[in-house]
Chains A and B, each alone.
Chain A
Amino acid sequence: MSQQTIAHDSEHAPPEPPPGDARPVRGDSSPARDFSKGFLAKLVLVGLIDAIGLYGILTAISVEQWAIVGFLVLALVAVNWAYFSRRALAAKYLLPGLVFLLVYVIFTACYTAYVAFTNYGDGHNSTKADAVSAILAQNEQRVEGSQAYPLTILTDSDGDLTFAIVRDGQALAGTQDDPLAPAEGATVESDKVTALPDHEVLGFAAVAQRQQEIVDLRVPVSDDAADGSLRTQDASTGYVFESVMEYDPAADTMTNTQTGVVYRPNDQGQFAAEDGSTISPGWRVNVGFDNFTRAFSDDRLRTAFVEIFLWTFAFALLSVLTTFVLGLFLAVVFNDPRVRARKLLRALMILPYAIPAFISALVWKGMLNTRSGFLNQVLLGGAEIPWLTDPWLAKLSVIGVNLWLGFPYMFIVCTGALQSIPGEVYESARMDGAKPWRIMRSITLPLLMVSVAPLLVASFAFNFNNFALIYMLTGGGPNFVGTPVVVGHTDILISMVYSVAFESGLKQYGFASALSILIFIMVGAISWWGFRRTRRLEEL
């Protein structure tokens, strides 16, 4: 009896093996006294994580990603604390999932919000310092009358191209990333480098094969971008190229030495001259709410945006409405116990739901093809109806295909919900002489809504962002003419975001992120309103 009390107490008190008890108390015992198999496994695992984390910290330092360094340090401290502390029980179980949630959900959400306020995108990809050296590099020209160097092209152990020349009797070698530097142990014959340790001289065939790469390669003369770079046009002679641009760090201006035009940084993250002309690339700056207002303020975009905006709502609403009405209708029709083989009928009717949506959408895209699609060719006897290329028909097709994809879900849900409505309610209604339609409207629907309404709200939110369907079926087309981003009549906001970010030539991450945030706010507000309404339904 006394032994049991002790064992029970040991949950709270520091564990002390009760005298005479052979069984080791493991519950809260210290690993120092108890090297169980589990502890060893933990040691190895946490050690492994520490090793990977440390490697990450070192590489992140070398590429100067300070945010990643900071995150990794914190994460490692948290992991080691959680798994070696005896108190942090809950943390042990929560931590793995939380780390992923933190990085891939919470961070990306915050980062979206941050990027939305910048001009991040093509032409504004990096910091100002990077932009300055890129401008200097891009505006290089061969210095008039500069010396020509016999050039040797080699590859280093990583396969990177290396240029080697002899200047003032000294052999120099450099790559794209490493400026020219004295080449130790180079063999020089008649002012030309013929061999270099750890390097291989490129043969004629290899030079021919990598010609473009060689012509594009610029090897900086020194760490200072203003000193220019070594380039070649014929793969045998190298010239020093210097930038026609000159950056003055003190005045923060960029001067074109040929024309004398002075460029000053503007608040759009670019160097601009007095006459308004700018030089690319620029750099990332905060642009305030520009991205958020752009869709309304840009004349070429406004009409398209407004139409996409309205269509997104129409599409989401109609999707929910059509699938729900058909699903409910079928659920009511096949809820009749006199229909036989209902199980089989249901199984066949939910087939569209079982197939991954991306497959169905692509199949429908083929079937709806104007010239050669199954629908026009076979079912309509060769009619060339432009299902996917006429603005209104394309919208109709999108709704139709979505109905095909989505009604089984509503069918399942409604069938389930119908089962939960007690039969007595119907019976008394029938006794009172209610007709079927009246029963449907006054009894079935309200009772059904209690359980189904939240799902309708969720379905609305899902369809608002139903990217795959739109992208697979119509690709957003038919496209609008004259808009600065490639968008079309069936694009919804999320596919517009994709187009702005990746498919419209110029990648505009800032604008795309701002649209994402707008979508989030709209869907969030509507869902919140919807769920509040639903809760009120429940109270009825």
Chain B
Amino acid sequence: MTADTTLHKAPAAPGASGAPARKPRRRPASPARRSGWTPWLYLLPALVLLGGLLVYPIYQLGLISFLEYTQAQVSGGEPTTFKGFGNYATLFGDSQFWQVLLATVLFAAACVLATLFTGCALAVLLTRIRALPRLALMMAALGAWATPAITGSTVWVFLFDPDFGPVNKVLGLGDFSWTYGRYSAFALVLLEVLWCSFPFVMVTVYAGIRAIPEEVLEAASLDGASQWRIWRSVMAPMLRPILIVVTIQSVIWDFKVFTQIYVMTNGGGIAGQNLVLNVYAYQKAFASSQYSLGSAIGVVMLVILLAVTLVYLRLVRRQGEEL
């Protein structure tokens, strides 16, 4: 430490030039910067945990997806055998897989669009109202956001219950069962997902709008631009970084919805009509002990989300963010 401090003082000493104040400001290397092992020491706990509980399981997931791994192998009754792409062949040859994959993508896309639209619209709304209604909307949204997925799911199922729920009463639907039909069940889950995920978008975008200089918006509205035009031509471009973040987050969350589908449609709906990849993998692995097939589905999910991540990284990089 003493060596460091003397080194520090050296450049600060007035030079022979006689103009110490105008000397080019060369930032002395901070003592923390030149310390071989310290950063790795700080990183150690994080790296150990991530290595053991994230990287290694990913490797294992890939491995199991290439093995024959069912209850017999798990209990040690039979030796595990290498199946190559056999599991994937089985999976890709199963029409149910493609159906579930399509449902997952469409359902996630619908959730993302609904969440982004609602979140952005309400964020704009928040900027045009006085403090009291704003507080009311903020508080309601925070409440929905804070609600655990499982309680949110049970409450929404109860709201739409054919016998005791208030929604059917108000809408005059009699004993219409929302979870019976495929599309009405997906719609119900979508409503719940929208309810608990729009607040994140709303709050984040609202924070972003507040950071836009007022003069810019004022100038636009004085020039006679419509609300929609202001949003499209002025606000949306300035909010681009934030919009990218919330879009990607929503894609990731909605693509791997598990609890809502599992609880609201009772494990994937009648005859699996409401399965999404996540629940499908879970059912394959833990309900029917086909761990290798479940793992193969997991790998498919991983690959899709990594592709999304790469797109995200490119977008972030293109904006020149320094890491």
Partners in one complex: no
